[in-house]
Amino acid sequence: MQQKIHQTDKPTIRQYQKIPRADCLCGIILVYTKRHTAMTDSLHLLADSAGKPQYLRIKDELARQIREGGLAAGDRLASERLLCERFDTTRVTIREALVQLESSGLIYREERRGWFVTPPRLRLNPTVTTNFHRIVSEQGGVPRTQLLEKGRQTVPAGVMDVLGLKAFDQVYLLKRLRFANERALCYCENIVLPERAPDLLDQDLNGSLTDLYATRYDLRYARMRLRFHPTSLPDHVANLLGATAGLPALLLQRLNYDQHGRVVDYDIEYWRHDSLEIEVDTGDEEAWTKG
């Protein structure tokens, strides 16, 4: 005998009834009451008739609005509650759609403020000697650097050979955040040789280190050795950037030489994955084309 399910019963996935095969692909359908919101959230991520999960359809719709200009760079998205109402779905489904957009670099989240459309990426040409403040200013932004920590310490083992130092040699270590238009984009650690800038820790380190080297120590970057590769944000870096731990990031490691060919410092930088693009001009288009 078929079991009768009352509307006041809390539904479970075990409650079902046989229905004609013409009405259901498998001949079995779950019977839900009006209290179906108690079901597991995975049910809200089931594919629609076209085979695409709801969170992906929501992601596609929001991405379309961004690409067509309905949402401009810096615009704040509607709250998750309002998005739930608009798309008639759960917050878990909306959050999954937003995380997908964040991973693709279209939006970003600020703690207690919500979700925003990502501004255009900064363009970095590693063959040109420049600095963060100049890059941001030249591309129409307002740069800012915030010193988090400074000190003198024993050289870290991981950079000892790169800097040509021995165990127990001393270095300056600076930890700083870089902002463009008040959005934190980059966490940077500068490991500086004290003999190049003897009283560096007494200076204002909330600006361009490159400019400070030039004006106070007559040091100018003449060349660099640069390595970069994709990685993920470590927890402590993500926390400082106000980003989600584990998000993709670009890790830059740069060894800088002065005009006399001497090593000055070594930079380790974590950039938000949506904030930077590498642009290289070979300077010889014809030779490049011919290979």
Quick: pLDDT tens for 238-277: 999 988 888 899 999 999 999 999 999 999 999 999 999 9
- Under DSSP, is residue 275 helix (H, G, I), strand (E, B) or coil? coil
pLDDT of residue 48: 53
pLDDT over 90 for what percent of the chain? 68
Residues constituting the chain = 291
> At 50, is the pLDDT very low, low, confident or very high (cuts 50, 70, 90)?
low
Least confident interval from 64-68, 125-129, 158-162, 270-274: 125-129
Q: With 90 as the cut, is the pLDDT of residue 289 above it?
A: no
| Residue ranges matching CATH 3.40.1410.10 in the chain | 122-278
- Rounded to whole angstroms, what are the CA distances from 128 to 82, 101, 219, 278? 46, 32, 17, 12
pLDDT tens digits for range 16-37: 333 333 333 333 223 333 333 3
Two tokens, residue 22: 């013409």
Of the chain, the end-to-end C-alpha distance in Å amounts to 78
> At 112, is the pLDDT very low, low, confident or very high (cuts 50, 70, 90)?
confident
**Model-level pTM?**
0.76
Contact between residue 139 and residue 276 where contact means Cβ atoms under 8 Å apart: no
How far apart CA 73 and CA 104 sit, in angstroms, is: 15
What fold is seen in the domain 122-278?
Chorismate lyase (3.40.1410)
pLDDT of residue 279: 85
With tokens 């100018």, the residue in question is: 220
Mean pLDDT, the chain, rounded, equals 83
pLDDT tens digits for range 222-238: 999 999 999 999 999 99
pLDDT of residue 52: 87
| Residue ranges matching CATH 1.10.10.10 in the chain | 45-117
Residue 147: partners with Cβ closer than 8 Å, 6 or more residues away:
174, 175, 176, 205, 206
How far apart CA 120 and CA 182 sit, in angstroms, is: 14
Question: Span 78-104, mean pLDDT?
Answer: 93
CATH code of domain 45-117: 1.10.10.10
> At 111, is the pLDDT very low, low, confident or very high (cuts 50, 70, 90)?
confident
- Under DSSP, is residue 183 helix (H, G, I), strand (E, B) or coil? strand
Torsion angle, alpha carbons of 116, 95, 29, 13, to 10: -170
Q: With 70 as the cut, is the pLDDT of residue 5 above it?
A: no
